Amino acid sequence: MNVNQHTPMASPYGQPQPGYSQPGYAPLDGGYPAPYAPYNGPASAYQPGAPPQGYSPFTSFPSKAVTANPVSDLSSPLDLGPARGPPASGPPPVSAPQPYNQYSHSQGDMQNGPPTMTQAPPRPAASQPYNPGAMNLSGPHPSYPQHYGPPSTIQQVTNQMTGMQIASGPPTPAGPGYAPPHSSQPPVSTAYSAAPPPSYTQAIPPVSSAPTQPPPPSGPATSQQYYGGPPPSSQQPFNSSLPPTSQQQFTSSAPPPPSSQQTFPPTSYSGPVPPPSQAPAPPVSQSQQSFPPTQPPFSSAPPPVSQPAFLSGPPPPVQGSFPPRAPPPSSQPGSFPPPGPPPTSTSSQYPGPMPPQQQPPLSQPSPYHSGPPPPRAQMPPTSMPQSNHLPPGPQGPPGPPGPLQQPPPQPGMQGGYPPQQNGAFGQVRGPQPGYAGPYPGQPNYGAPAPAPAPAPPAQKRLDPDAIPSPIQVIEDDKAKSTEPFTTGVRGQAPPLVTTNFQVKDQGNASPRFIRCTAYNMPCTADMAKQSQVPLAAVIKPLATLPPDETPPYVVDHGEGGPIRCNRCKAYMCPYMQFIEGGRRFQCGFCSCVTEVPPHYFQHLDHTGKRVDCYDRPELSLGSYEFLATVDYCKNNKLPQPPAFVFLIDVSYNAVKSGMVSIVCQELKTLLDYLPRENPEMDSVVRVGFVTYNKVLHFYNVKSSLAQPQMLVVSDVSDMFVPLLDGFLVNVNESRLVIESLLDQIPEMFADTRETETVFGPVIQAGLEALKAADCAGKLFVFHTSLPIAEAPGKLKNREDKKLIGTDKEKSLFQPQVGFYNNLAKECVAQGCCVDLFLFPNQYVDVATLGVVPVSTGGSVYKYTYFQAQSDQERFLNDLRRDIQKPVGFDAVMRVRTSTGIRATDFYGSFFMSNTTDVELAGLDCDKAITVEFKHDDKLSEETGALMQCAMLYTSCSGQRRLRIHNMAVNCCSQLADLYRNCETDTIINFFSKYAFRGILNNPTKAVRDTLVNQCAQILACYRKNCASPSSAGQLILPECMKLLPVYLNCVLKSDVLLPGADVSLDDRAYLRQLISCMDVAETHVFFYPRLLPLMKLESGSLPVAVRDSEERLSKGGVYLLETGLHLFLWVGASAQQELLLNIFGTQSFSQIDPSMTSLPVLDNPFSQRLREIIDSFRAQRSRYMKLMVVKQEDRAELIFRHFLVEDKSASGGASYVDFLCHMHKEIRQLLS
């Protein structure tokens, strides 16, 4: 499958894409706002879906077609399986009821007999899918051509032309394209007119198609010619069936079969289906020729259908159909989106997207119940916009069938057939018009589409453009968030993490510090349980703020220490209510009344506020710091300044890879950038050095020495620190000695032959050093290999791929030995944070080695197969950042909440010795802690829910402080409020951490199922309690959670939960640990990478991202993909020379060196801007992203594809569309 897909994909893309991408994208770029709006409206997405398919098919089709098949296979087992099963069975029925047959055929094709058909079509689809898509369109057209030869041809030509033009002169054409669309609609209409004919012609086209496939050369020839102009060979295949199917699928297929077939079928069907549809058509004319057996039935069925549809459809249907989808006339635009911009449009329009999913079902029904659809279609549109349920609208009608998808289809088929046609047509036309407008070609397609429409319905395919688009959501949010976000309003969800916004602290912590899954907490535990929405907050206590926001003020309450509530010990904050003229205050958390100490007394004004309220950060702000007194210090002693200890592996591998010399070289300069609070002052952080292989070498770098002294400790079984004075030194005082040391280390070990290393004793050594110096600090361990030398914490290689997928898999994520857990405990007690830099050439057991870093608030960095030349930059940037970043030590964090809820669980890099205190040996500005809350009582809507996160820590200057973050959220008694004010990104952050911890103790599959179930319950609960009544078959998603399925799918198919064959255990463990301390922004981009088209760059703004799917990539384009860990520059095989010249300085695709890690510095605005963008991306992330240049069809593309998360993944992860269908099924099961 893959192979087919890939190869075909590539070729097909080429041509179609340019056109598509440009038209589609162009609009996006230029006309975003405008087009979108329209799009959105157009919930019509439905139609769009169809039409878009027509277009998109080109781009998307192939993929879909391809994927579709595979998906279908996969999906079938998953979701569709059952649903389809029947459909499969359908085939038989096909024979009986022709109309059904079609549908069934579609299904049948997919699964059963159709194989031949499916295969044939799919392949073409695959190989030439797009073309085919185009062709398909044309295919039908061809039929037209025959009949309407001229028009169709013209249209096609125009399409192609536009495409071409667009390609060449992107923007303008696109712009025009769009604009035209509307205006061009007329053409659409023509298209329609044409379409009808097609339908008629369909019979004929089939002929052509038939010929294309096997015998009918002549027929095909003609068709080909028409299409041939553009994509000859490829077209043919398309002609046969694919194109139509694709189109149909989108439009009609989605609706009709969708329900039953869900996503999978649709896509998959689309491939096969089309044939059937065509088949049917052909059957009429040439049924005998190509597909005698199958076609006949099809032909019989479809033709009739189509005709009827036409009949009904043409005249009224068109409009009617439009209305339904059009009703959201706005939808028309929507329709647009589907075709080219679909993605965006869909995303933007919930409805749009929703519909696709839902629509499919809905649409299906609609098509089926052509009659109903229109009306319902209208309904839905409205509803959709409202609820985001596009589908509902369409489905609404189909709804009934929807739920039972399969059954419905059939019934729908029968009854609906005609309707469908109508509806479909109508829709098809509707959208087409819209599309037509935008894309000259579309009309044509549209025309064809309509024709295929009938068939499509049967196919039930989801239009990817019609399902919720992350990009659209992100862009909408950006557009919405123009004002600074003020935190004063309780229960207000902040802008998304992808949006740039300014925060004004007015009493609640900035979302940069705290983000919640829900800003309206359910009042009762029952509600919470019912909704299943996790109540959690992601807290990043030391987050760095942008320069235009003030860092937390430091408040000094004097010798008595911070003012606190007597009972719950909450710190003074804006939620404290002063009473009795200011002599006492009542705690907002526990309601206890506490005396105000005399030195803190202040009068109240007439509103009951303290007069000095705005002079005191702790009374007016959400985030601030207290100076801690000696009572808050370990052993009641003010802390010593912290120390950094560098522990460098000098075994053979470490030396050979160049790591040792790089580290030493870098440290020489880096030591001047140790963290400090006042940039004017020297850092007070002391440093120490240790090298090791299977023994440890400590260095005395006392300033009075002429040369450093090395102290070897071989007694690794009982580690100790051999020296006290001279180990931890002030950099400035010992600079000469340190430099001498760093110069000599690489030389000293240049000839080492020692390959064995220890690890446990290394950390012990650092720990002991800090203990001896009686300070907190951080260890930087640079390590290469599995520690097999005889020593505590010795490990053995236990990587066993056979365990993957079994119940024992979880053990692979657990530490191999208990030693490191105990060690971690000791480290935490001392405030010893460990950062681990790994340079493995083979299995190193990250799961075990990472225990200490993860438990001490440290980080693990991993550079597999480290090579100085290519990885140096990434490593050094990580190191620089890691050393320089603000960090707190020896921290204890406690989250206090108002009565009624309680922090019950914590996720992140830390250690807990009891249930309430999060102990962090170290905490840097990039680490986040996810806290889960549970009810233990009722909450009140009036007071809301309060939480106060207090973190006691030692600053890098050795000052003991308390950082306080306060957060108040609303409480709601209506579920709808809950769903209206939650944040999917944060929920995903929680889910991922929850799941990644879950795999420690549960089989991976169980964890995945749990996630899916909970997600389904959340959505089902919404559907049941908050959505307007609609058919059960509708997929209705809450506005705030419409991306939940796509994101959740990304989590599910992440390497951790669903590893591909080439993902090592170490990688999984590494990611697992890494994610556990990520904040929301990081998890967001990690799970849904940012993919930017680079065809056109403007200074000042980034190009609008595109969705993470292969079909969004234009062969002629260059794209930048960023995950927070990786950065890819994908270069299409036929990228424009000018583009290449601007970026790489070469015009030749083949001359691009895929091994380059940075772009050449070229003196042109494009190159400059691109490098700026890359730099800015890197600056945003806590880890440096190495740039990988991926050339299309290069081997490295496999890696790149892994991050196209909306597609099926090589490891078996479902595509977005498939997953959405699956989710829909789950929801429906829950509802029923």
Partner 1 sequence: MATYQEFIQQNEDRDGVRFSWNLWPSSRLEATRLVAPVSCLFTPLKERPDLPPVQYEPVLCSRANCKAVLNPLCQVDFRAKIWACNFCFQRNPFPPSYAGISEVNQPAELMPQFSTIEYIVQRGPPTPLIFLYVVDTCLEEEDLQALKESLQMSLSLLPPNALVGLITFGRMVQVHELSCEGIAKSYVFRGTKDLSSKQIQEMLGLTKPAAPGQQGRPVAPQDAAASCRFLQPVHRVDMNLTDLLGELQRDPWPVPQGKRPLRSTGVALSVAVGLLEGTFPNTGARVMLFIGGPPTQGPGMVVGDELKTPIRSWHDIQKDNARHLKKATKYYEALANRSAVNGHSIDIYACALDQTGLLEMKCLSNLTGGHIVMGDSFNTSLFKQTFQRVFSKDYNGDFRMAFGGVLEVKTSRELKVCGAIGPCVSLHSKGSSVSENEMGIGGTSQWKVCSLNPSTTLGIYFEVVNQHNAPVPQGGRGAIQFVTQYQHSNTQRRIRVTTIARNWADAQSQIQHIESSFDQEAAAVLMARLGVFRAESEEGPDVLRWLDRQLIRLFMFHLRRSPFLQVFNNSPDESSYYRHHFVRQDLTQSLIMIQPILYSYSFYGPPEPVLLDSSSILPDRILLMDTFFQLVIYHGETIAQWRKAGYQEMAEYENFKQLLQAPLDDAQEILQTRFPMPRYIDTEHGGSQARFLLSKVNPSQTHNNLYAWGQETGAPILTDDVSLQVFMDHLKKLAVSSSA
Residues lying near partner 1 in the complex (CB under 8 A): 695, 697-699, 705, 707-715, 718, 720, 722-726, 740-741, 744, 747-748
Q: How far is the CB of 486 from partner 1 (least distance, A)?
A: 55
Q: How far is the CB of 883 from partner 1 (least distance, A)?
A: 24
Q: Which of residues 70 and 760 has its CB atom nearest to partner 1 in the complex? A: 760
Residue 626: in which H helix or E strand, if any?
strand 623-627
Q: How far apart are CA 277 and CA 304, in angstroms?
A: 11
- Alpha helices in 818-859, H assignment, sequence order: 819-830, 846-849, 851-855
Q: Which of residues 741 and 1129 has its CB atom nearest to partner 1 in the complex? A: 741
742 Cβ partners below 8 Å, 6+ apart? 664, 665, 667, 668, 689
Q: Which of residues 669 and 714 has its CB atom nearest to partner 1 in the complex? A: 714
Q: How far apart are CA 656 and CA 659, in angstroms?
A: 8
Phi, psi of 1190 (to 5 degrees): -115, 120
| Torsion from C-alpha of 347, 350, 355, 356, nearest 10 degrees | 10
Of residues 335, 189, 146, 139, the one with CA closest to residue 251: 335
Q: Which of residues 536 and 719 has its CB atom nearest to partner 1 in the complex? A: 719
Q: Which of residues 14 and 708 has its CB atom nearest to partner 1 in the complex? A: 708
Q: Which of residues 748 and 1210 has its CB atom nearest to partner 1 in the complex? A: 748
Q: Which of residues 678 and 714 has its CB atom nearest to partner 1 in the complex? A: 714
Q: How far is the CB of 691 from partner 1 (least distance, A)?
A: 11
3-state secondary structure (DSSP) of residue 778:
strand
Q: Which of residues 745 and 1135 has its CB atom nearest to partner 1 in the complex? A: 745
Q: How far is the CB of 800 from partner 1 (least distance, A)?
A: 32
Of residues 123, 429, 463, 117, the one with CA closest to residue 267: 463
Q: How far is the CB of 834 from partner 1 (least distance, A)?
A: 23
Q: How far is the CB of 784 from partner 1 (least distance, A)?
A: 20
Q: How far is the CB of 642 from partner 1 (least distance, A)?
A: 20
How many beta carbons lie within 10 A of that of residue 924, not counting itself?
A: 27
Q: How far is the CB of 695 from partner 1 (least distance, A)?
A: 7
Q: How far is the CB of 723 from partner 1 (least distance, A)?
A: 7
- Alpha helices in 1031-1089, H assignment, sequence order: 1044-1052, 1065-1075, 1080-1087
Token representation of residue 675: 């963290």
Q: Which of residues 717 and 797 has its CB atom nearest to partner 1 in the complex? A: 717
Q: Which of residues 737 and 1097 has its CB atom nearest to partner 1 in the complex? A: 737
Q: Which of residues 697 and 1072 has its CB atom nearest to partner 1 in the complex? A: 697
The sheet carrying 929-935 orders its strands as 514-516, 536-539, 929-935, 901-907
The answer for 37, left when phi > 0, alpha when psi is -120 to 50, beta otherwise, is alpha
Q: Which of residues 95 and 734 has its CB atom nearest to partner 1 in the complex? A: 734
Q: How far is the CB of 702 from partner 1 (least distance, A)?
A: 9
Q: Which of residues 697 and 1112 has its CB atom nearest to partner 1 in the complex? A: 697
| Torsion from C-alpha of 1085, 1089, 1090, 1094, nearest 10 degrees | 150
| Torsion from C-alpha of 715, 719, 723, 726, nearest 10 degrees | 120
Of residues 958, 953, 954, the one with CA closest to residue 640: 958
The sheet carrying 1118-1122 orders its strands as 1090-1093, 1118-1122, 1126-1131, 1186-1191
Q: How far is the CB of 792 from partner 1 (least distance, A)?
A: 14
Q: Which of residues 96 and 712 has its CB atom nearest to partner 1 in the complex? A: 712
CB-neighbour burial class of residue 714 (10 A; exposed 0-12, middle 13-18, buried 19+): exposed
Q: How far is the CB of 704 from partner 1 (least distance, A)?
A: 9
Phi, psi of 1143 (to 5 degrees): -90, -50
Q: How far is the CB of 747 from partner 1 (least distance, A)?
A: 8
Q: How far is the CB of 879 from partner 1 (least distance, A)?
A: 24
Q: How far apart are CA 160 and CA 202, in angstroms?
A: 22
Q: How far is the CB of 687 from partner 1 (least distance, A)?
A: 17
| Torsion from C-alpha of 972, 976, 981, 982, nearest 10 degrees | 100
Residues β-bridged to residue 518: 982
Name the residue with tokens 């526990």.
590
882 Cβ partners below 8 Å, 6+ apart? 780, 835, 859, 861, 924
Q: Which of residues 166 and 741 has its CB atom nearest to partner 1 in the complex? A: 741
> Are residues 277 and 240 in contact, defined by beta-carbon separation less than 8 angstroms?
no
> Are residues 1046 and 1220 in contact, defined by beta-carbon separation less than 8 angstroms?
yes
3-state secondary structure (DSSP) of residue 837:
strand
CA quadruple 244, 248, 249, 253: dihedral sign: negative
How many beta carbons lie within 10 A of that of residue 108, not counting itself?
A: 34
Q: Which of residues 695 and 967 has its CB atom nearest to partner 1 in the complex? A: 695
> Are residues 457 and 364 in contact, defined by beta-carbon separation less than 8 angstroms?
yes
> Are residues 380 and 390 in contact, defined by beta-carbon separation less than 8 angstroms?
yes
Q: How far is the CB of 736 from partner 1 (least distance, A)?
A: 14
